[in-house]
Structure 1
Amino acid sequence: MPGREDLPATLLRSPRKAQDTWVAAHDSALDTYGPGRRAQQTAFAAVKHSFEKVGDHWEPKQQRGPSDDQAAGGARQRERPTHGGVDARASRAHLYERAQQLGIHGRSRMSKAELVDALEKASHRETARARA
């Protein structure tokens, strides 16, 4: 399976189900679109429906569904910014719990949008730290 060989590091640190989801979607996208960025984007979109990025890995979401407006719009929609695997459609309480888990300071005063941004930045930092 080509997808197993191309598995991103964040997914190597994630549950097997997240890895299997990525591999199945990636391999299917390779058959449909050929090699390249689109196959990777399709695979991550599939992962984001069931998992959310927490720090340097992916964890199961409480409720399955799109993580942001881009994922909800489908293939024919214009590109919108994504949030790096953060479940931007989750409740503020859930985002606050994730911020607490990652030790984000000032989280109690943050709006939902600010929590999403802070979680995205924290995930990028954790992923960079894990690569080093």
Structure 2
Amino acid sequence: MPTRKDMPSTLKRSSKKAQETYAKTHDHAVDEYGEGERAHRTAFASLKHSFEKSGDHWEPKGRKGPSDAKAAGGRGTKAKTAGGVDANASKAHLMDQAKKLEISGRSRMTKDQLVDAIQRANDKATRKARGS
């Protein structure tokens, strides 16, 4: 299991369940593919089926399943990832997330614009939490 210091910072600020999901998948991926980027990508893909990024940490999703077109399409797809945002969620859920992250202008945004704005807000919160 990746030690606490090796775990991504967003997971260090997340629930024990999110940490365990990532760690177990990572360990199995290391056994299958070896240590490296592929093991980490596999662990994040597994994490995004049950959790979504909210600010600087991961929270459980309302329903399990792929979070975006990239996750649904698999490794070979050319689709874009939403970086932990549950792009397959309802617009109402995305609006709630945007409100929680204090994104201005959210009421006029399309679903795709909300996903992009939430992703930017999450990235900003992560940078702030890391102190950079």
| Interval of TM-score (by shorter of Structure 1 and Structure 2) | over 0.9
Is the aligned partner of 1:119 residue 2:118?
yes
Does structure 2 conserve the Cα–Cα contact (< 8 Å) formed by 1:4 and 1:23? no
Aligned position for 1:26: 26
Is the aligned partner of 1:130 residue 2:126?
no
| Offset from partner CA, 1:106-130 (integer Å, 9 cap, x none) | 0000000000000000000000000
In 1: Cα distance, 2:29 partner to 2:4 partner: 14
| Offset from partner CA, 1:6-28 (integer Å, 9 cap, x none) | 21110010111000000000010
In 2: Cα distance, 1:35 partner to 1:90 partner: 32
Aligned residues: 131
In 1: Cα distance, 2:47 partner to 2:80 partner: 17
Does structure 2 conserve the Cα–Cα contact (< 8 Å) formed by 1:22 and 1:44? yes
Aligned position for 1:66: 66
| Partner amino acid, structure 2, of 1:68 | D
| TM-score normalised to structure 2 length | 0.95
Does structure 1 conserve the Cα–Cα contact (< 8 Å) formed by 2:4 and 2:12? no
Aligned position for 1:9: 9
| Partner amino acid, structure 2, of 1:92 | K
User: How big is the shift at 1:3?
Assistant: 5.6
Indicate the SS of the match to 1:67: coil
| Partner amino acid, structure 1, of 2:130 | R
| Offset from partner CA, 1:64-93 (integer Å, 9 cap, x none) | 000001111234x23422111000000000
List structure 1 segments (4+ residues) > 3 angstroms apart after TM superposition.
2-5
Does structure 2 conserve the Cα–Cα contact (< 8 Å) formed by 1:3 and 1:27? no
Indicate the SS of the match to 1:87: coil
Indicate the SS of the match to 1:58: strand
| TM-score normalised to structure 1 length | 0.95
| Partner amino acid, structure 1, of 2:85 | V
